[in-house]
Amino acid sequence: MLRSMYAGVAGLKTHQTKMDVIGNNIANVNTTSFKSQSISFADLMYQTTQHASGSTETTGGVNARQIGLGAQSASIATAIDTQGATQTTNNPYDLMISGDAFFIVNDGTQNVYTRDGSFYVDGNGNLATQSDGYYIMGWMAVTDEDTGVTSINTNGGLTKLQIISDETSTFPPEGTSQAVVSGNIDAKDTNITSSAGKTIALEFYDNLGYLYTAEFTIKDVDDAENTYTMTLTDIMDSDGVSVGAEQLAMVHLGNDNQAGVTNQVPGVLKSGYYVNNYSAAKGTADFAITDSDVNTTDTTMFSAVPTSGKLSDLDDAGVLNDLYNIVIDDVNFYDNDTYTMDHLGNLTISHTGTTSLTTKKGVVNDTNTSSYKVSVSGAVATINYTTSTGTLTSDVDGGKYTGISSALKTAYAIPTGLSSSTTYHTTDGNSLTLTVPSTTSLGVASGYEAVVTSGTAVVTSGAAIKNTTPVKGNLKNLPETIRGYYGDLTDAKYAAYPDTATYSLSSDGTLTVSYPVDTTDTKTADASLSSTYKFSSVDTTQNPAVITIENAADSSLTYTINQSGTVDDAAQALLAKYFGLTDADFAQYRKVENPTYQITYDETTDAMSLTITYKETTPSTNTDTYSITDTTNISASVGKETAVYTDKSGISTYTLNSTGSLADLMANTDADAILAAFGIDKTKAANYISKSSYSQSSYVISNSGLQLTSYEDSEYTLDTGSGYSASVAGTTVTVSLTTSEEVNTSGNMTELSSLVKNAFGISSADYDTSEPLDTYTIEMDANGEANLTITDNSYKTIATEYNRNEMTLNYDHANGSYTGATFKQADGTENGIGYSTITTDKIVLNFNPDMDDTVNPWTDVYLDLSTTTNYNSSGTSTLQASKGDLAGNNTGRMMGAMTGISISKDGKISASYSNGQTLLLGQIASATFANASGLEKAGNNLYTATLNSGDPVVQDITVGGGSISTGVLEMSNVDLSNEFTNMITAQRGFQANSRIITVSDTLLEELTNLKR
């Protein structure tokens, strides 16, 4: 009895514990990232009063007898793997883990773990928990000093994440190191061809983040050679103020060799020198040499140098050779050559005289359609000009006459004005066959009709007949022709109808005939023997039997009547007398024909009865319907009053393709009838059979008639005697014309024909016709190539610019693509000037020496001109320059201030800056456990590792398939509906265990009362 009381007490304790767990869950229903718990029970222990025994040969086994002593708490489990719902906060430092990982935080003594991602940045820039300020652990980003690459080593040790510091609050500036010149140069652009040229601007940053603009001038050099100069003219700061002549003197376009620093180009200002004072009013300039520091004043080396005059004036000033490396040699430079000097010290030198300048012209390149060949024999040069007259096809299908050019028609003496449907065929081009069509059109003959629909022609002969009749009337008035359309209405049936028969027509042409008819029915009438008489006897030996009737009052009075027979007048009189029938009765019985009668008798009762069988007629109307028999040829249009019948039975129809070969038409079994529709027969049609080896005669049938097309071949031969020739490549035949001309290998330019000029690409701009005349010579070089050299013997003034920081852009004459840049260079002889090897490499805007002072610490900028072109763009050039390479990298930048922090799905923390840059700061670490439910709750939403949870595996959260979301928090995973249900079951269990205690107490009380 006491055992049950203690069991009830144990039950109360376990259910109290369950209520404690439920209460804790409900209390934390809104706790961030809280994980609900659940409790399970186990029975406590048992008292065994009898152990189990096994069975024997005589008795069975007996089970053990055990009494339980209550329940206990078995386990309290945490639903740690169940994800809570998402709560949006829009706070960028509120984070939620998707997956089974934990954030790692440090409480100052050890690492603990949490799912609560409500973080903030403390006063020292560290990422910490909002509730207790514990540091969030992770890996800080490290920048490689050699490569500049910022990365994170997730295999390194954990540290607190200081994401905002003096070091990361700004992003350092960077100088521009790459630039792209893009767009098109139009040779006809007036800006390009003007003396001022076209200006383009390039913005770039220095190493301190200051923005500058470099100005370049593009000018035309030679249209025929597709060359243009590009000169650096100025560099301005962000306020549009020039950096000055001294700094420009320290800037080189190209490397030292290309820029003429290594070997000074005659006419170009010596490297390091610059104009430190320029007076347009006085017409003088002072020159100094830079010490590479713009903050110091350089010593003037040459003063009052005239900015215009003769070269001899510069020589007198002592600068012609010292600054410009020019020696007056009366070959390249003369005393009387004039010059002008700009504010940067660049010279433009003009020479007037019979310079006998020579221009060498080579034979123009072959093209797909023409070529020149030049050979020299003694004093005579032979010019052969071969040009493509046109192409033909040697394909088996041939080609169209309209595709033969007028030049090819001349080559073959082909007449013009032939049908556009004419075709040609050729195999080797030496001869050509024209297949000329001849078309004859025939109209539709009278009494015929042609209808073409979707490639099918229907030819018909004859015409439809129209017949009309009223929609209804007397059948005898229906016209015989129309009656014939109804095949089932034979003459016999028609004649059998009474004259009163009528007809009517329905909408589909059905004929209905109505006529009167009488219906005769057989009926009987019964009557009994009049009471005046009675049956007496019957004589059956007679036929019919004879019945004897006697007077009912006087049996001596007897009468005889046949037992059956026809009711004629005599029989009517007897029957009326004996059976009481009236004349009216017999008038009804005898209306159709004489009826018959039958008398029956009963010898026992002497009763007799009469039965008269007669016929009675009832008048009615019958109808018969008839349909049109030949619905193919006969149709009816029934109106309200009149019906119109269309009879096409006299029409013949022939169906065939509307187009095809004449041979197929002739082979048609109905050819005679079809051709007759167009007024011809097969004999005449045979005259149109084709006389060509390539094309068959054809026909086309239209609604208006028949068109017959036949073909005839004509042969034409290539006029090889006039220089024409043919060649075959695949199915293409190329016809060429070669023109030859002989010319002296030297002479005056005015003596050359157009053919010679064209062979060497000579235009009117290459020579003049004034005295003294320009001359030419034609020679073969060592490579066997012919060249024509033009000697300009006229008086000319030639102005040549000698600009510092200038290069020449070269473009392909055939396709307009950029082929590279060249630079003026000293060729090693006195006053000798040549050009560097063409280069397609990027051109460096070389700050040499680098300006490493505090004013303008620039870095070298490499110019990429590879995408520029030289096309016709309607007289407008689109050339422009932009910082950065073709991929948009290396643009340079100003200093940037931190504008925001972002955290990616993998926990990487990045800072964004006002200059558009981003910087990887660090990465939040995560921990996973072999048995996460084995973690021990430490309060404040924290967990600590235990022996049962296993050691944490620290890793990038994405390694385990998880991710981090920003601006949201993980809510509690407590399910209130489940908790309320568990609360009810706990309450009922508590009540039941309480009842055990009260009942046990009552039993003890009863036991105590026994003593009383």
Whole-prediction pTM value?
0.50
| Largest CA-CA distance found in the chain, in angstroms, rounded | 202
**Does residue 138 sit in the same domain as residue 185?**
no
Q: Report yes or no on 951 lying in a domain.
A: no
CATH code at position 873: 2.60.98
Cα(232)–Cα(249) distance, rounded to whole angstroms?
Answer: 11
Q: Which of 257, 878, 918, 875 has the alpha carbon at shortest distance from 909?
A: 918
**Does residue 147 sit in the same domain as residue 158?**
yes
Residue 354's pLDDT is 67
Which pLDDT band, with edges at 50, 70 and 90, does 850 fall under? very low
Residue at a domain's end among 767, 792, 817: 792
**Does residue 495 sit in the same domain as residue 627?**
yes
For 265-297, give the DSSP string.
Answer: PTTSPPTTEEEEEEETTTTEEEEEE--S-TTSP
**Does residue 475 sit in the same domain as residue 502?**
yes
Which pLDDT band, with edges at 50, 70 and 90, does 1012 fall under? low
For 734-798, give the DSSP string.
Answer: EEEEEEEEEEESEEEGGG--HHHHHHTT--GGG---SSSPPEEEEEE-TTS-EEEEEEE-SEEEE
Residue at a domain's end among 792, 820, 855: 792
Burial of 4 (0-12, 13-18, 19+ CB in 10 A): middle
Domain count along the chain:
7
Q: Report yes or no on 520 lying in a domain.
A: no
380-389, 452-461, 722-731, 846-855: the lowest-pLDDT one: 846-855
CB 215 within 8 A of CB 237: no
Please determine, for residue 224, whether its predicted confidence score (pLDDT) is greater than 70: no
Please determine, for residue 853, whether its predicted confidence score (pLDDT) is greater than 60: no
CB 79 within 8 A of CB 112: no
Please determine, for residue 533, whether its predicted confidence score (pLDDT) is greater than 80: yes
Measured CA to CA in angstroms, residue 137 lies from 128, 159, 942, 1005 at distances of 9, 5, 14, 66
Q: Report yes or no on 709 lying in a domain.
A: yes
**Does residue 669 sit in the same domain as residue 696?**
yes
Burial of 522 (0-12, 13-18, 19+ CB in 10 A): exposed
Cα(233)–Cα(198) distance, rounded to whole angstroms?
Answer: 12
Q: Measured at the alpha carbon of residue 287, what is the angle toward residues 283 and 289, in degrees to the nearest 5?
A: 165
Q: Report yes or no on 797 lying in a domain.
A: no
Q: What are phi and psi of 751, to 5 degrees?
A: -85, -10
Residue 919's pLDDT is 92
Tens of pLDDT along 766-782?
Answer: 888 877 788 999 999 88
**Does residue 708 sit in the same domain as residue 728?**
no
**Does residue 641 sit in the same domain as residue 497?**
yes
Q: What percent of the chain has pLDDT over 70?
A: 98
Tens of pLDDT along 467-483?
Answer: 999 999 998 999 989 89
CB 509 within 8 A of CB 638: yes
Q: Average pLDDT for residues 47-62, to the nearest whole number?
A: 86
CB count within 10 Å of CB 893 equals: 20
Measured CA to CA in angstroms, residue 651 lies from 632, 647, 654, 673 at distances of 11, 9, 10, 12
Residue 602, token pair as written in the block: 């009963």
Q: What are phi and psi of 868, to 5 degrees?
A: -70, 155
**Does residue 482 sit in the same domain as residue 454?**
no
Q: Pick the residue with more confidence: 686 or 281?
A: 281
Q: Average pLDDT for residues 111-126, to the nearest whole number?
A: 94
Q: Average pLDDT of the chain?
A: 89
Q: Report yes or no on 854 lying in a domain.
A: yes
Q: Average pLDDT for residues 211-235, to the nearest whole number?
A: 90
At position 750, the amino acid (one-letter code) is T
Residue 666, token pair as written in the block: 């002739």
Please determine, for residue 46, whether its predicted confidence score (pLDDT) is greater than 80: no
**Does residue 540 sit in the same domain as residue 607?**
yes
Please give the DSSP secondary-structure letter assigned to residue 126: B
Q: Report yes or no on 626 lying in a domain.
A: yes
Q: Report yes or no on 317 lying in a domain.
A: no
Q: Average pLDDT for residues 719-738, to the nearest whole number?
A: 87
Residue 486's pLDDT is 92
Please determine, for residue 652, whether its predicted confidence score (pLDDT) is greater than 90: no
Residue at a domain's end among 686, 716, 746: 716
Give the residue ranges of DSSP H helices in 656-729.
662-667, 671-676, 682-685
Tens of pLDDT along 131-160?
Answer: 999 999 999 999 888 877 889 998 889 999
**Does residue 740 sit in the same domain as residue 820?**
no
Q: What percent of the chain has pLDDT over 90?
A: 46
Q: Report yes or no on 238 lying in a domain.
A: no
Which pLDDT band, with edges at 50, 70 and 90, does 279 fall under? very high
Q: Average pLDDT for residues 67-71, to the nearest whole number?
A: 85
**Does residue 883 sit in the same domain as residue 756?**
no
Tens of pLDDT along 967-993?
Answer: 999 999 899 999 899 899 989 989 988
Residue 801, token pair as written in the block: 């610019």
Cα(8)–Cα(1004) distance, rounded to whole angstroms?
Answer: 15
Tokens 């020299």, located at residue: 376
Residue 852's pLDDT is 45
**Does residue 113 sit in the same domain as residue 162?**
yes
Q: Average pLDDT for residues 64-70, to the nearest whole number?
A: 85
Q: Average pLDDT for residues 15-19, to the nearest whole number?
A: 91
Q: Pick the residue with more confidence: 358 or 240?
A: 240
Which pLDDT band, with edges at 50, 70 and 90, does 588 fall under? confident
484-488, 495-499, 1005-1009: the lowest-pLDDT one: 1005-1009
Domain of residue 366, residue span = 359-402+717-792
